[in-house]
Amino acid sequence: MNIPVILTLPDKRLRRAAKPVTAFDAGLQGMFQMLDNTMRSGPGGVGIAAPQLAINRRMLVVDCTLARHQCRNQGLLYMANPEIIEFSQEKVLGREGCLSVPEWVGVVARARSIRVRYQDVTGAVQELDSSGFEARVIQHEIDHLDGVLFIDRVLSTGDLVRRMAKS
């Protein structure tokens, strides 16, 4: 099995907004499987979005059972055209890294919990509620579909000090 190369900065394709998935066929299942295999081949990968493999489609794979720390989660998720339809106002700080920005980590504020609407591999519309680490991963991967990287959301030292003072 050939593992595709994951795009890394400064590749401009990481900054494009991905196009919706419109064909729900065997080819889509194959692309999801390729994303899944690639995610699992990387160190510590728990999520990957199609644009990271130069596939300009709104699709992502998340599996937080692969996380180094225990978390409550849904298991393996193949999501086409995901959108966050609800999110908590409460933000949590956490360190993030990315397969497309190797050797960099930063503190990012994300919604503690989200509700996501997406299509599964058959095109059926699904909704799920997610919280904690899994919600963070889904938000991170949806950002990729919009051409946004975690480094665009990293908090400055001043932001961190102000947030810590409020808690």
Burial (CB count within 10 angstroms: exposed 0-12, middle 13-18, buried 19+), residue 100: buried
What residue ranges in 10-135 does DSSP mark as E strands?
A: 47-49, 59-62, 77-87, 91-98, 101-111, 113-119, 125-131
Q: Is residue 144 part of a domain?
A: yes
Q: Is residue 87 part of a domain?
A: yes
At residue 61, the pLDDT reads 97
Are 136 and 95 within 8 A, CB to CB?
Answer: no
Q: At residue 7, what are phi and psi to the nearest 5 degrees?
A: -65, 140
Tokens of 156: 């400055």
Total domains in the fold of the chain: 1
Percent of the chain with pLDDT over 90: 78
pTM, to two decimals: 0.91
Q: Is residue 25 part of a domain?
A: yes
DSSP for residue 103: E
Q: Is residue 1 part of a domain?
A: no
Q: Is residue 5 part of a domain?
A: no
Question: Residue 122 is part of which domain span?
Answer: 12-166
At residue 165, the pLDDT reads 56
Q: Which region among 22-31, 78-87, 95-104 has the lowest average model confidence (pLDDT)?
A: 95-104
Q: What is the pLDDT of residues 44-77, one digit of tens each?
A: 789 999 999 999 999 999 999 877 766 767 889 9
Evaluate if residue 126 carries a pLDDT over 80.
yes
Written as one letter, the residue type at 61 is V
Evaluate if residue 166 carries a pLDDT over 70.
no
Question: In this structure, are strands 125-131 and 113-119 parallel, antiparallel, or unpaired?
Answer: antiparallel
Written as one letter, the residue type at 80 is A
CATH number at residue 91: 3.90.45.10
Point out the residues that are catalytic: 141
Return the residue matching tokens 């946004």.
148
Burial (CB count within 10 angstroms: exposed 0-12, middle 13-18, buried 19+), residue 46: buried
Q: Is residue 63 part of a domain?
A: yes
Are 60 and 83 within 8 A, CB to CB?
Answer: no
Q: What is the mean pLDDT of residues 80-100?
A: 95
Q: Is residue 3 part of a domain?
A: no
Q: Is residue 7 part of a domain?
A: no
Q: What is the CA radius of gyration of the chain?
A: 16
